[in-house]
Structure 1
Amino acid sequence: MDYSNVYRQSLADPQAYWAQQAELIAWFKKPETILQQRPQGSHCWFADGELNSCYLALDWQIEQGRGDQVALYYDSPVSGVKQAISYRELLIKVARFAGALRKLGVDKGDRVVIYMPMVPEAAVAMLACARLGAVHSVVFGGFAANELAVRIDDAKPTLILTASCGIEMDKTIAYKPLVDKAIGLATHKPAHTLVLQRPMLQASMTPGQDLDWHEAQAGVEPAGCVPVRGADPLYILYTSGTTGQPKGIVRDNGGHAVALLYALRNVYGMRPGDVWWGASDIGWVVGHSFIVYGPLMGGCSAVFYEGKPIRTPDAGAYWRVIAEYGVNAMFCAPTAFRAVRKEDPEGALSRHYDLSSLKRLFVAGEKLDSSTHDWLAGLLRVPVMDHWWQTETGWPMTSAMMGWDNPSESRLGSTNKPIPGYDIRVLDGDGNELPAGESGNICVKLPMPPGVTWSIWNQPQRFAEAYLSLFPGYYHTGDGGYVDDDGYVFITGRTDDVINVSGHRLSTGEMEEVVSGHPAVAECAVIGVQDALKGQLPVGLVVLKSGEDIVAAALEAELVERVRDQVGALACFRRVLVVQRLPKTRSGKILRAILRKIAVGESYKTPSTIDDESILPEISSVMKQAGLV
């Protein structure tokens, strides 16, 4: 399949292109309206079609003869539990749980908050909501109570589904007290809380309010699939907003189903019966799209993993999973592999496992530096594909089309070419399109393809203001970068990750690429600090690989020289601080905005998504000792 021709066709006549893709979905009633303009300027696809996302993920797969095929491989090194759940077994669990939800008053259009760890029951809960036409909102397990309360008040759920605890490495985190506190803080009071009691911790239950997960299902009638319209919401997923108030990203049923099947087959190259591993959590968009819905709608077997890349029990955890389940393709954040490399720089643990099943590896979520790319490619001997997307899009915007005969080759530093349907342009601050090679705002010309959000829950105007108002006629991604002469997209970072040094606008992402290439560096972050003479100056925060004992002054001198050689003297990169660790979200993204605020002495609010807040005073102390604060 020729990329250039297909890409041009998708932009020249998007309705015809996506109508053809929609033919691959088992609709109850095929859509007559392919593309619909929304009042706030966005677009909705397949609005009047009728379908059910749970039916596509389970019932239809069984009808195609996949009942005995494994749907989910549950692997939990932190609890010592493994399960292989077939499509037929999963359908039985989902239909029964949907019946329990219905008995408790959940109906089509009602919201259900899911606050759970990575256990199969979490996937069952999501699919059961979809089966009823209810709208689920998964909140990452372990979020602080006040953050959960904000989401409860915004979504106004009929029920909350939770577990007694989650497990982080060797630490057990009690969920039920957090849920109880959140309900106490929230104005909206859900009717009940369903609690999955885990063996390692039994939660106390409040009679009348709290219900046992299993007891609630006793004697219920399994529920069938409720038809919903293509425009009806499937889920709400909250993402951070610039105002601090989270944005409830709404995903519809119709466009979502078409987009995920398209991505699974064409972008990731997966076919029915293949084994897929999305190494993430259901609390994030990757977990929604490519742990639960996408793989199941595509007839694959998906790995559902509860653990970390290291110390579960060692840095060979990921290699074990690939070998044990015969994983054909994997999706992960670069951060995870940098952690593996830090613990096992030579990749020696990978040689303990047969990794021959793995055909390709995809990374996203954060910039893939060339050092990590080369390490992975050399270790695994498979294509390592960087690609780019957002919570708002729900599926990739740029990638090689690995399901095609001649996918685009990788190009270091690039997340590859735009996927058909995404008309990616680079605009300057006034909205003028920039020529190839010039950096600016990465935007997508409307209409966006199916599967992309077209509203924020209860705040449609906020969607327009956040994404459509700055550059009319375009979706503003908030990322900066450029497109080269061959159409490859280069993301240099969020537009607020650009610093101004003596009037030169420089990407900290480019400097991070150079710093991370040093053989002693495991990971890094480059931030801008205030300077009376030059406006801003870059400072590198560096974490060393295990076993490295290079003198800090020598490392700084070598890194300064590398940046001078590869970026230029105008970068004025002169300071390097060695730190033990960097603050990250639970999904592995480095919290650069917080680092910038610490560096300039601004007050900050600890992000609700932070993995370990004790890192922040460590960083502050290092910066104070260096005289930056």
Structure 2
Amino acid sequence: MTAEFEVSLESRVVRPDPVYLETSALGPWKQAYRRYLEDPDGFWAQYAGELEWVEPWDRVKDWEYPYARWFVNGKLNITINCLDRHAAGERRNKVALIWRGEEEGVERVLTYRQLHRQVMRFAGALRNLGVGRGDVVCIYMPLVPEQIVAILACARIGAVHSVVYGGFGADALNTRIRDAGAKVVVTADVGYRRATRIPLKTIVGEAVRNAPSIEKVIVLRRTVPHVALHPEMEIDFQECMAAAPSHVDPEVMDAEDPLFILYTSGTTGPPKGIVHTCGGYMVGTYYTAKYIFDLKENDVYWCTADPGWITGHSYIVYGPLAAGATVLITETVPDYPDPGIWWRVIEDFGVTVFYTAPTAVRMFMKYGDEWPARSVLDSLRVIGSVGEPLNPEAFEWYHRVIGQSRCPVLDTWWQTETGMHMLATLVGEPMKPGFVGRPIPGVSAEVVDREGNPVPPGTGGFLVLTEPWPAMMRTVYKNDERYRKYWTTVDTLYLAGDLAVKDEDGYIMVLGRADDIIIVAGHNLGTAEVESALVAHEAVAEAAVIGVPDPVKGQAVKAFVILKVGYAPSEKLKTDLIYHVRMSIGPIAMPSAVEFVLSLPKTRSGKIMRRVLKAQEMGVDPGDISTLEV
């Protein structure tokens, strides 16, 4: 199979206010990217030099395909950069974390000095339980400050954390605990979601029954009266902190020591334990948080992800805190108690940088402009996107309604495996709806054919990364062969698994997963392009398409469509949608069937699980659905 196919690249150009580029810390893309190309190692050394190291590195990198070592022989602890250097300096009383619970008015604030003290306390508590350098700690918690405290405490003492999203069930949690060989689980009695209590402690109790590596379970008790603990296994979070020393020196780590294991969502196979290390990951997330988001000292930054995913690791915890930002976290979901809750949060806290998923943007589109209009969003300076491709219609709505036609839309493409942003349109640069942007300075990316040869502009191909980068994963835990496949499938390039197309200016449009390609009569169709055409129709809030067997064409397109409020399913509307796709893309992309649905199967990180739709259509087992949002 070849990945080459023609894609329409028509897109308008949206130019932000020139003041964004004038005040950008990174400067114009061409200038910054030229600096990187002229001296790649010097480029990364500059940004690494802005951080504190216990001992300097000997070399910026060693690259022995397909393995890299970054900041070779450098010694550090990432918490020194996320906490100590701020707590000991002018930021000691700056707000590090703002937390809002699901109920409006339930809030907590931690300064850098206070967060530093709590992290040291919990680091001491872990040490009191026998947790040390190299031990694995599983963190299964709701999005509360204690979750971030636990993550940083592990890093403080050199323990490897494995954060598991608090929406997973017992079987999925057990799989991850057993694979990582975790020694301790940190959890809470409950999480809250749409006024419902999620019994996390009960789930952990089931998950550790067949997990012989677990020695203790630390429980943050949120409910009153407190739930009972099993004294032979369970320990109260606050009590173990109270018994711990108030000061814990940071463990001195080598740049290549493991920092964490994070299991991917498993949408393209069994979950993989992605291993990230201390030095390169620290530099990559710091650089991208500070310079790609273009964070300013007075920004209030809100990423709506969860630390159970890589977005939360990199752009809630490590990157923004290393950059000294004020970070907002909240348990609120986007549509409870109503679809205006997130906009009220932005108004209440004066959020200036907002980073969310295209899935959320499209959901808000479904509810219309009314809810955002009820809140004052003038504080916003930059609005970002992460996850699936941000289709042009969602871009336009996001820019116009949430960004009030003045905020740059920072669309980003990256992966659990990359650890940091790879593609984006830098703040201040011209934006093209539907295009994520160009490789950020420090990253080399290309669109190639099956043999690894660059394809011409306008021709679809495989998105690849051609050079190593600091925050790259080092291996797949206990499965290095799986890691090697990323670098050996297409020539000697890192195969991201996505299809893309590049225009004459070097802007890249990500079309979707390569395994989401639909081949109709020998023509390759990216699911994202067909879905984007459907969402462009005034009646459609969200859409997913799959390939279904066709006796003549090999495959045909079937569409699953969620309608906006005010529109009702009808045969006439089905016909209109099919015709709309024909006129937008061409007859080859016309759906053979349209099914109206109320929801789409998604991972808890918001990605549509098209293989579940396909399995349901074919009447077969969908495989691992542990990441399915329910």
Q: 1:184 aligns to what SS in structure 2?
A: coil
1:558 corresponds to which of 570, 573, 576? 576
Q: Is 1:437 paired with 2:458?
A: yes
Counterpart check, 1:527 vs 2:546 = yes
Q: Does 1:221 align with 2:221?
A: no
Secondary structure of 2:581's partner? helix
Task: Write the letter of the residue equivalent to 1:281.
Answer: D
1:235 equivalent to 2:254? Answer no
- Which of 396, 420, 425 is residue 441 of structure 2 equivalent to? 420
Q: Does 1:457 align with 2:477?
A: yes
Contact 1:508 1:538 in 2 (8 A): no
TM-superposed CA distance for 1:605, in Å, is 2.8
- Aligned AA (2:273): G
Asked whether the equivalents of residues 76 and 279 of structure 2 are also in contact (C-alpha less than 8 Å), the reply is yes
Checking the alignment, whether the CA contact within 8 Å between 1:408 and 1:416 is kept in structure 2 is no
Equivalences for 1:127-526 in 2 at 5 Å?
Answer: 127-186=152-211, 188-199=212-223, 202-222=226-246, 223-241=248-266, 244-311=269-336, 313-342=337-366, 344-345=367-368, 347-380=369-402, 381=404, 382-402=407-427, 407-446=428-467, 448-465=468-485, 467-526=486-545
Deviation larger for 192-201 or 392-401: 192-201
The separation in 1 between residues aligned to 2:488 and 2:445, in whole angstroms, is 17
Q: Kindly tell me: are residues 503 and 572 of structure 1, through their superposed partners in 2, closer, same or farther at Cα, counting changes over 3 Å?
A: same
Identity in percent: 38
The residue number in structure 2 matching 1:11 is: 37
Residue of structure 2 in register with 1:23 after alignment: 49
Aligned mate of 1:92, from 90, 98, 117: 117
C-alpha distance in 2, partners of 1:44/1:306?
Answer: 37
- Superposed displacement of residue 352, structure 1: 2.6
Mapped contact 2:96–2:110 kept (Cα < 8 A): yes
Deviates more, 1:73-82 or 1:18-27: 73-82
1:421: how far off? Answer: 2.3
Give the Cα separation in 2 of the matches to 1:265 and 1:515. 36
Secondary structure of the corresponding residue to residue 424 of structure 2: coil
Give distance in 1, aligned partners of 2:600 and 2:205: 31
- Deviations 1:494-546 (CA, angstroms, capped at 9, x unpaired): 00111111111111211111100111111110111110111011111101112
Residue pair 2:102, 2:192 contacting (<8 A) in 1 also: no
| Counterpart Cα distance in 1 of 2:216 and 2:190 | 18
Q: Which residue of 2 aligns with 1:548?
A: 567
Deviation at 1:196, TM superposition (A): 0.7
SS of residue paired to 2:415: coil
Q: Is the 8 A contact 2:269 2:624 kept in 1?
A: no
Give me the whole-angstrom Cα distance separating, in 2, the residues matched to 1:108 and 1:422: 32
Aligned partners of 1:459, 1:598: CA distance in 2, in Å?
30
Q: Partner of 2:459: helix, strand, or coil?
A: coil
Structure 1 pair 201/599, CA: closer, same or farther in 2 (3 Å)?
farther
Secondary structure of the 2:321 match is: helix
Q: Work out whether residues 273 and 299 of structure 1, in 8 Å CA contact, stay in contact via their aligned partners in 2.
A: no
Cα deviation per residue 1:143-186 (whole Å; 9 max; x = unaligned)? 12121112112211221101111112122111112112111123
**Higher RCO by CA contacts (8 Å cutoff, separation 6 or greater):** 2
1:558-614 residue CA offsets vs partner (Å, 9 max, x unmatched): 1111111111112242321111111111111111111112222222235111111xx
Structure 1 residue 8 displacement after superposition: 3.5
- Whether the aligned pair in 1 keeps the contact of 2:28 and 2:429 (CA below 8 Å) is no
Would the alpha carbon gap of residues 323 and 192 (structure 1) be closer, same or farther in structure 2, given more than 3 Å must change? same
CA contact (8 A) 1:6 1:420 kept: yes
Query: For residue 397 of structure 2, what is the amino acid of its counterpart?
Result: W
State whether structure 2 residue 77 is matched by structure 1 residue 52.
Answer: yes
**Residue in 1 aligned with 2:60?**
34
Q: Within 2, Cα distance between the matches of 1:123 and 1:318?
A: 21
Aligned residues of 1:276 and 1:327 also touching (Cα < 8 A) = yes
Q: Which of these residues, 590, 594, 607, is aligned with residue 589 of structure 1?
A: 607
Indicate if the aligned counterparts of 2:612 and 2:622 stay in contact, CA closer than 8 A: yes
**Alignment-mate amino acid for residue 216 of structure 1:** C
Equivalence for 1:580: 598
CA apart distance, 1:47: 3.0
Q: String of CA shifts for 1:411-446, please: whole Å, max 9, x gaps.
A: 111101111222111221222221222111111112
> 2:530 and 2:225 mapped to 1: Cα distance?
46
Whole-angstrom distance in 2 between the partners of 1:10 and 1:44: 19
What is the aligned length?
Answer: 600
Q: Which moved more, 1:565-574 or 1:49-58?
A: 565-574
Distance of 2:281 and 2:376 partners within structure 1: 35
- In 1, Cα distance between equivalents of 2:316 and 2:233: 31
Gap change, CA 1:2 and 1:81, over 3 Å in 2: closer
Question: In the superposition, relative to structure 1, how do residues 155 and 372 fare at CA in structure 2: closer, same or farther (>3 Å)?
Answer: same
Establish whether residue 43 from structure 1 lines up as the match of residue 64 from structure 2: no
TM-fit CA distance, 1:67: 1.3
Question: Deviation at 1:88?
Answer: 1.1
CA separation in 2, counterparts of 1:22 and 1:545? 47
* 1:81 and 2:112 aligned: no
Equivalent residues of 2:287, 2:319 under 8 A apart? no
Q: Tell me the CA shift for residue 80 of structure 1.
A: 5.6
Question: Which amino acid is the alignment partner of residue 417 of structure 1?
Answer: R
**CA separation of 1:80 and 1:198: change in aligned 2, threshold 3 A:** farther
Aligned AA (2:348): E
For residues 221-279 of structure 1, give each alpha carbon's deviation from its aligned partner in whole angstroms, at most 9, with x where no partner exists: 13121111111111111114578432111111111111112112221110233210000
Unmatched runs of 5 consecutive residues or more in structure 2: 1-26
When normalised by structure 2's length, the TM-score is 0.92
Whether the 8 Å CA contact 1:272–1:298 is kept in 2: the answer is no
In the alignment, residue 162 of structure 2 is paired with which amino acid? Answer: S
Q: Which structure 1 segments of 5+ residues have no match?
A: 613-629
Question: What is the letter of the counterpart of residue 26 of structure 1?
Answer: E
Cα distance in 1, alignment partners of residues 220 and 596 from structure 2: 43
Quick one: distance in 2 between partners of 1:80 and 1:590? 33
In structure 2, how many angstroms separate the alpha carbons of the residues matched to 1:232 and 1:564?
Answer: 53
Give the Cα separation in 1 of the matches to 2:70 and 2:130. 30
Residues 12-43 of structure 1, C-alpha deviations (whole Å, 9 max, x = no match): 432121112211111111111210235x6121
3-state SS of the aligned residue for 1:473?
A: coil
The question of whether the paired residues in 2 share the 8 Å contact of 1:165 and 1:201 is answered with no
Residue aligning to 2:587: 569
Determine the C-alpha separation between the residues in 2 that align with 1:144 and 1:201: 25
Task: Measure how far apart 1:400 and its partner are.
Answer: 1.8
Letter in 1 for 2:563: L
Q: What letter corresponds to residue 253 of structure 2 in structure 1?
A: V
Tell me the equivalent position of 2:13.
none
**Mapped partners of 2:136, 2:509: distance in 1:** 38
